[in-house]
Amino acid sequence: MKFETYEKTKYTAHLPDKNGHVHYTPEETSVWHDLLVRQEKIVAPRACDDYLQGLKILNLSKDEVPQCKELSKSLMRVSGWTVVTVPALISADEFFTLLSRKIFPVASFVRFREEIDYLQEPDIFHEVFGHCPMLTNPTYADFMERYGILALKAHSEDRILLARLYWFTVEFGLINTKKGLRIYGGGILSSKNETIYALESPTPQRLPFNGLEALRTPYRIDIMQPVYFVINNFSELYQLLDGNIQDLLDQATRLGEYPPLFAA
Ligand SMILES: [Fe+2]
């Protein structure tokens, strides 16, 4: 989920039937199949082990778009999370409320084939393939829950800063591992081009993760990222929110944002 405020979307999410089952069209099923087959190969040598382990736990079918009921069963067993079908776009309040209740929202539509490589709205491939594997990791899942609780009660200026934290971790985070630099951010892992670019391009900056720096760094949603923050473990994220995050938010407000590394 990218909780940006989109004015409108050309996508319409499917409503579940009375049994909670969402019926996808043959074309959507075919796009899902092609996305999954392609992206599994691309992330295999580039995603962190926690993500790859999560992908194994979810055991996504290539032939059917996943149903929230099945995903929830898998997540509940390992981290106590569930997923729920939501419309294409939901408000920040709804989003944070769900996270605070250990529920991850999944928009029930698949991108059009002409947008197979990039779309702004988060579709089910982004939500499920990008984010759900990491929700099998209990430390990471606890961080997400805590983020939801914190963002829900934050005032609007702090929410803008917290959105940056989400962006540079949950969406576009990198992690140092014994095997080298790897990806855990769902915005990267659901994108064919950015999965390769984030690790292999000489262009972007890859900075050691620092909460205050992340809160002060502006971003744009529609470009390859000019900067990534690299964590060393997931406890780092949890501890950031467990510590005095309000102090950091106040400092970030006082010091102001950095000049953007991208054209406006
Ligand atoms: Fe997302």
pLDDT digits (tens, 9 = 90+) for 24-37: 999 999 999 999 99
pLDDT of residue 60: 98
What lies within 8 Å, CB to CB, of 133 at 6+ separation is 50, 51, 52, 53, 54, 55, 57, 58
Q: Which of 64-68, 79-83, 208-212, 243-247 bottoms out in mean pLDDT, i.e. has the lowest?
A: 243-247
5: number of Cβ within 10 Å: 7
pTM: 0.95
pLDDT of residue 5: 47
Overall average pLDDT of the 123-131 stretch:
97
Give tens-digit pLDDT for 78-117.
999 999 999 878 899 999 999 999 999 999 999 999 999 9
The token pair at 73 is 């069963």
Residue 126 designated active-site: yes
Residue 190 designated active-site: yes
Task: Please tell me the CATH superfamily of domain 26-255, with its number.
Answer: Aromatic amino acid hydroxylase (1.10.800.10)
Residue 108 designated active-site: no
Query: 169 CA to middle of ligand 1, Å?
Result: 10
User: pLDDT category, 7, cuts 50, 70, 90?
Assistant: low
**Cα–Cα distances in angstroms (integers) from residue 240 to residues 95, 114, 144, 168, 237, in the given order:** 21, 40, 12, 14, 5
Average pLDDT, the chain: 94
